[in-house]
Structure 1
Amino acid sequence: MVVMVVVLVVLMVVVVVVVVVVLMVVVVVVMMMVVVLMVMVVVMVVVVVVVILVVVLMVMVVVMMVVVMVMVVVMVVVVMMMVMMVVLVVVTVVLRGNHILF
């Protein structure tokens, strides 16, 4: 009888210890999975933010280039119009002075 009780108690203790160890292992594994998932999510978010920033920078650079090109074209057109006006005035004055025009 005593031996049976001792064996039963030992078995119960062993079962409890095994269950506790298995639970601990499961909890640790779940925690590791959660941590890994969180790290993956953070990495994905960082990558997405970096990609968005790079795209915005590229768009800004392209817009700046377009603005600069438009400004250069406008400047060239204005300079050409001024030169044409000066040439017209000079030609008109010279021709009027020679009494060819008017």
Structure 2
Amino acid sequence: MFTTLAFTFKNNSRLLAVVVVVVVAVVVVVIEVIVVVVIVVIVLVVVVVVVVVAVVVVVVVEVVVVVVVVVVVVVIVKVVVVVVIVVVVLVVVVVVVIVVVVVLVAVVVVVVAVIVVAVEEARKLR
């Protein structure tokens, strides 16, 4: 089988070109998916760090405010800080999701285009 395949590639450079294009397209898609996963992991790590820092800030602010102001003011400040943190985290997550979706759609479009071209080339070879 391999001898026949090698003979086919040797005598038909267009078929070899189609196979090379498909292999390169698959490699590019794999690399893009890895890059997207790395970006998502980095963003999630940053979000976790921001939340931890925000909780520490809330605790520090609570200790300082308890000494200075009434307990009601502490609760109000705490709620406002937590709401701001949640809004910021949600905005970051939405932006990351949008970026990931756009990148994945672009990857799918490229792969479909490459496959269509490869199929057309294969049809021409017949």
TM-score (norm 2): 0.45
Shift of 1:29: 2.5
Shift of 1:26: 6.8
Cross-structure match for 2:26: 43
| Bigger relative CO (Cα 8 Å, ≥ 6 apart) | 2
1:59 aligns with 2:54: no
Query: Segments of 4+ in structure 1 off by > 2 A?
Result: 25-29, 84-87
Percent identity over the alignment is 41
Structure with the greater alpha carbon radius of gyration: 1
How many equivalent residue pairs? 63
- Which of the numbers 78, 85, 97 marks the counterpart of 2:61? 78
Shift of 1:85: 2.5
Cross-structure match for 2:82: none
Shift of 1:80: 0.8
RMSD: 2.1
TM-score (norm 1): 0.55
* C-alpha distance in 2 between matches for 1:77 and 1:26: 70
Shift of 1:63: 0.3
Cross-structure match for 2:15: 32
Q: Please, which runs of 5 or more residues in structure 2 have no aligned partner? A: 1-7, 71-126
1:69 aligns with 2:52: yes
Q: Please, which runs of 5 or more residues in structure 1 have no aligned partner? A: 1-24, 88-102
* C-alpha distance in 1 between matches for 2:9 and 2:56: 70
* C-alpha distance in 2 between matches for 1:49 and 1:34: 22
